Amino acid sequence: MAIDGKISLPVVGPGDERERTYEHPLYKQLLSVPGLSLGVTSLDALLTWGLRNSLWVFPMATSCCGIELMAAAASRVDLDRMGTIVRATPRQADVMVVAGTITVKMAPRVKKLWDQMPEPKWAIAMGSCAISGDFYRDLYPVVPGIDTFLPVDVYIPGCPPNPEALMHGLLRLQEKVRLQRLGQFATPEPRPALLASTKPSIPRLNDPEREAETNEQQTADAMKTADSAVERPEATGSSAASEALSPAPALEGTTPPASWLESLFAAHGALAFPKDAPPLISADRHVALARALQERGYKQLVYIAASHWLAGRGRAGADASETEHFEVAFALRTVGRASQLASWSVRLEPGQSLPTLTEVFAGADWQEREQWDLLGVKFSGHPDLRRIMMPDDWEGHPLRKDYAADTHRAPWR
């Protein structure tokens, strides 16, 4: 504020003048009251002192940085020395300390909690994940730094920052509060060099400069990467192993299955019993198999896992004539001592759906939802086939081999 009573208001926006003057009608009269300015500044100094010496923290702790946040409140560092305590409700907090990786699904929740905090409030980005996403930065579900959606006041680098660093950050925040209240602090102009360095190498989805064929190119690149990743086990595996695992000779053999379990699998469409992979069951009989196993004591569903194979790829022994397909693996175990494991898998063509297991095992509900969410495997008859990991409006299934690694969502990228 200038001494002649002119307040300069920075106006942001194109076409506006950068400075405009405004004078309150009572300003001159108030200036003439003796001692008023002294009183006001003293009161303001007192209030500022209160404000910066009682910074209550809202712990937005999502991962390992949260442990350091807890340690900072414990006996060695003891944030309570400077009057900082942790409040569980955002309504009574002044500083939101975001400690940990924030995912795309978490970010709206963080924003909501931030909006619930009463003014004046500040935000601290604690640790490299909160600052920039760190090495999870290029992962499809990770927000590349919380300053994409929160006004961050203090950045505390580290992975994780130690408790002393957090205390240092809080001291810096105190200094910032003091300067802000004195009017000495201004938001720095965005530096063009900095903006250029944060621009991604591939234009983001919301970038108008992004070309349509970029998507196709990305998909092709991703497929190339997936291919090279799959080739590795084949190069190291011996030819004898692939011969032993090929399904055809086992079909020819008339030897009876070795155990009742294998005969059960054979009765449900299994053609081969490879040593290091579960037998393949036909899709229309796998519910009956699960029920039969459950009746024989396999009462616990351990996992449902799926993998996506592109054309020409598959489990060991697959050749170039292999088409694109999914393989969904199931495992059950008996409950009690000397637990037995039974596992099988089902081959699915793209677009083919698998009968749900939820009628047999209630626990299959979320696991099947996970496979649907991440790989797009459809389960027919599932009571509630919604996304479970990704946000409801997510496009695509991120663990598919043809999923472009860079298709990040617009608000965050």
Partner 1 sequence: MSGLVHGAVYGVLILAVVLTTSGLWIWGERKFAARLQTRLGPTIVGPFGLLQAVADVLKLLQKEDIIPAQADRALFNLAPVLAAFCALGVAAVIPFSPDVIASDLDVGVLYILGLGALTTIAIFLGGWASNNKFALLGGMRSVAQAISYEIPLVLAAMVPVILAGSLSVSDIVRWQVGHHMFALWPIVPGLPAFGIFFMAMLAESNRIPFDIPEAESELVGGITTEYTGIKFTLFYMAEYVHTLVGSAVAAALFLGGWDGPFAPGLHWMVAKTLVLFVSVYWIRWSLVRFRSDQLLTMCWRYLVPASVLLVLAAALWVQLFPEFL
Footprint on this chain of partner 1 (rule: CB under 8 A) = 46-47, 49-51, 53-54, 74-75, 78, 80-83, 87-89, 91-92, 94, 116, 118-120
> Shortest distance, CB of residue 76 to partner 1, whole angstroms?
9
Candidates 173, 159, 62, 137; CA nearest to 107 is 62
Contact by Cβ (8 Å): 7, 22: yes
Farthest CA pair distance, the chain: 110
> Shortest distance, CB of residue 322 to partner 1, whole angstroms?
53
> Shortest distance, CB of residue 133 to partner 1, whole angstroms?
28
Contact by Cβ (8 Å): 126, 97: yes
* Closest CB to partner 1 among residues 74, 179: 74
* 59: enclosing H helix or E strand: strand 57-61
HSE, CB side, 13 Å, CA atoms: give it for residue 34: 0
> Shortest distance, CB of residue 170 to partner 1, whole angstroms?
11
**Rg, C-alpha atoms of the chain:** 30
* Closest CB to partner 1 among residues 81, 275: 81
* Closest CB to partner 1 among residues 151, 200: 151
In three-state secondary structure terms, 346 is strand
- Dig out the tokens for 197 from the structure: 């360095």
> Shortest distance, CB of residue 90 to partner 1, whole angstroms?
9
> Shortest distance, CB of residue 109 to partner 1, whole angstroms?
14
* Closest CB to partner 1 among residues 101, 174: 174
* Closest CB to partner 1 among residues 10, 120: 120
* Closest CB to partner 1 among residues 50, 108: 50
In three-state secondary structure terms, 91 is helix
Cα gap 68→61, rounded to integer Å: 10
- Dig out the tokens for 213 from the structure: 């064929």
